[in-house]
Structure 1
Amino acid sequence: MSGRELKAVYVISVAAELAGMHPQTLRIYERRGLVRPERTEGGNRRYSDADIELLRRISELTDQGLNLEGIRRVMVLENENARLRAELDQAREIALHAIRHAEESGARPGGDLVPLKQAMAVYRRAPSNPDRD
């Protein structure tokens, strides 16, 4: 997000209008922990562009029939999903970099690189049985 999206500049009445809801609804969402506006030294709420987008997402979910607890859970899962996707993208980038590096250093395609998943069988000699010998 850009700095503008994170800068809390909107008072509650403007934020409510931008999000298409009543200011009291924003207070309820704050009490329920769905949105956390910044506060001025005097204690007044200030909302950012990111907060407005979050309020719009909450509105979408309420329009789909979710209650506030359901919305909270959906938002937790959406955040976790975004985090995991970013982690996966990073892991893919690291893997691609490693492959490029291996290819540039003269690795033979399919010869020097070993798949991570290979079946491995361990054979152990059964303990000898003195009665059978």
Structure 2
Amino acid sequence: MHISSTAAVYVISVAADLAGMHPQTLRQYDRLGLVIPERTAGRGRRYSGQDIAKLRMIQQLSQDEGVNLVGIKKIIDLQNQVDALQHRNDELEDEIRTQQAAKERDARVFAAGTAGDVVSIARGRRPQGRPEPGAMVLYNRFRRR
């Protein structure tokens, strides 16, 4: 059985052990908004695998890099913004691809009819009838952008 990294399953003592911290440190980080665990009906904290990873990152930034908690909060906020913008960018790229595919499906193709008029024809087809001898025939597909 696989447990999702977003599933809040760890009580505070287990989360603190996994992150190599004291439970009081986790409570402080919760108050500061650095790592906000889910809550049970009885208000107990439940941490996910992602929360544990974030706690480890906070510990590394604090101990190894010398970043204070205010700086760490700013880094986390900026990373959340980047993640949200990347998600929105992915959504917009999908929407553009969908619209482009629809445009290509619905692209209109025009040709000169046998009487010299402009006619719309099915994509990948040539106009009906044969051109008059000596007539110039130009096949080109125009797309609206």
TM-score over 0.5 for the pair: yes
Distance 1:90-1:38 versus aligned 2 partners, 3 A rule: closer
Following superposition, the deviation at residue 43 of structure 1 comes to 3.9
Following superposition, the deviation at residue 44 of structure 1 comes to 3.2
Unaligned 5+ residue runs, structure 2? 110-139
Amino acid in structure 2 at the alignment position of 1:112: R
Unaligned 5+ residue runs, structure 1? 115-133
Aligned partner of 1:100 in structure 2 is 101
More helix by percentage: 1
Amino acid in structure 2 at the alignment position of 1:61: L
The 5 Å alignment of 1:13-92 reads 13-62=13-62, 63-92=64-93
Distance in 1 (CA, whole Å) between partners of 2:4 and 2:68 is 30
Which range moved further: 30-39 or 90-99? 30-39
Q: For residue 65 of structure 1, give the secondary structure of its aligned residue in structure 2.
A: coil
The answer to whether residue 143 in structure 2 is matched with residue 112 in structure 1 is yes
Aligned partner of 1:130 in structure 2 is none
Q: For residue 5 of structure 1, give the secondary structure of its aligned residue in structure 2.
A: coil
Aligned partner of 1:7 in structure 2 is 7
Tell me the alpha carbon deviations over residues 12-58 of structure 1, each in whole angstroms, 9 at most, x when there is no partner.
Answer: 22101111222222122112121122334444322222221221221
Percent identity among equivalent residues?
Answer: 44
CA contact (8 A) 2:107 2:143 kept: no
Distance in 2 (CA, whole Å) between partners of 1:28 and 1:9 is 20
Alignment RMSD:
2.4
More strand by percentage: 2
Amino acid in structure 1 at the alignment position of 2:84: R
Distance 1:101-1:28 versus aligned 2 partners, 3 A rule: same
Q: State the aligned residue count.
A: 113
Tell me the alpha carbon deviations over residues 96-124 of structure 1, each in whole angstroms, 9 at most, x when there is no partner.
Answer: 1111111111256983233xxxxxxxxxx
Following superposition, the deviation at residue 3 of structure 1 comes to 7.0
Distance in 1 (CA, whole Å) between partners of 2:97 and 2:39 is 44
Q: TM-score, normalised by structure 2?
A: 0.66
Q: TM-score, normalised by structure 1?
A: 0.71
Distance in 2 (CA, whole Å) between partners of 1:58 and 1:94 is 36
Q: For residue 66 of structure 2, give the secondary structure of its aligned residue in structure 1.
A: coil
